[in-house]
Structures are given as structure tokens and as C-alpha cells.
A = this chain, B = another copy of it.
């Protein structure tokens, strides 16, 4: 993901790394500019404030990952299970580039107070993905591929729960866990778990 052409991008890159690692409250403007090689003041020539920096990063996640995910999964044919498989493939493929963005995104609600004006963006992203998934599970049910005794909405929360946990877990245990093996395990358990008899 080398896009370090100009200062603006350098700040975004550095910030994403630090924010994903230390959280919003745990990352100071100075931390970021020190690493980029700037003074704190220079930061404010590029971003209105710390909150706007976060907003920019989340919106990049939205357009660069979430929107693309939905688009790619939908543009090809296949049944709901095929689509879910593609979704997981996309997540663990293209998604890798956005791993840090995802971690940042999922940490937002914890650092809640930090980005009060970020909340709308966060909600928009959440709702977008949730709606898409509910639809997918409903399709799966009407195609007779997904068991009907579980509520689609609950299934979505389950899926997202897992997804957010996975990212955290991956970071915390980065050295001990093989990511690909992890995704394979998830696939097996999840698809057997939801499939209709």
C-alpha cells in the first residue's frame, strides 16, 4: 500500500498505523507528526483537527472496502452461499490491505467519546453492511440453502461479532496465528453451522 507520495498521504498512512495500534485516545498528533517528520502545526495545514483525520480514514474504509465488497459480491452470479463465500474471500484477500482500517473501525465504539462527530459515519457503515448481510441470509433461506430456524438479523450480528473479534484476535496474536488457516476454520464451522438440513 505504498502511497507515500505527498505529506497528506504520509500523515494518513502513519495515522492509520498508530490509531489501529494505540486507539484514538492513545495516539497524539505529536505521535503522528513525529513519525512523519513534521511539527504538530504542520498537521493542521492538512486536517482541520484530529477528529477530521479519523473521519477521513473511516470514509476511506467505507469507499475503499465496504462499498467495494458489496459491489463485488453482488455483481457476479451465484446463490447466497456462493456470495457468502465470495464475501469471505474478498474480506481475507482485498481486505488484508484494509486490516488496519477495520481494526480502527471496530475500535471506534470503544473510543466512543473521542469522535462524537464520527458517530454518523460509523453508523452509516454499520447499517450498510448489516442491511446487505440480512438480505443475503434471507436469499439463502428462500433458496433453501440456509436453515430457517434462525433469525437473519441475529445471524448478521453473529457474523459481524465474529468478524470484529477476528480482527482483534489477529492483531493480539499476530505472531501465533496463521491468518489463512484461521479463515479456513471459520469457513468450515460457519457454513456447516448455517446450512439447511
Contact = CB atoms under 8 A, between A and B. Distances in A.
Given A26-B113, A110-B110, A160-B169, 14 more contacts: A22-B112, A22-B113, A23-B25, A23-B111, A109-B168, A109-B172, A110-B168, A147-B188, A147-B192, A150-B188, A155-B185, A157-B182, A189-B193, A192-B193
Given A26-B113, A110-B107, A169 B193 contact: no
Given A163-B165, A193-B192, A158 B186 contact: yes
Interface residues of A, number: 45
B185 A158 contact: yes
Contact of A189 (B106, B155, B163, B188): B155
A114 interface: yes
**Copy count, this protein chain:** 4
Interface in A1-43: 21-23, 25-26
Interface SS majority for chain A: helix
Nearest to A123: B172
Interface in A140-174: 147, 149-151, 154-155, 157-158, 160-166, 168-169, 171-173
A165 B193 CA distance: 18
Contacts of A157: 169, 173, 177, 182, 185
A132 interface: no
B158 A189 contact: yes
A21 B111 CA distance: 9
Nearest to A109: B172
Contacts of A75: none
A87 to B, nearest CB: 16
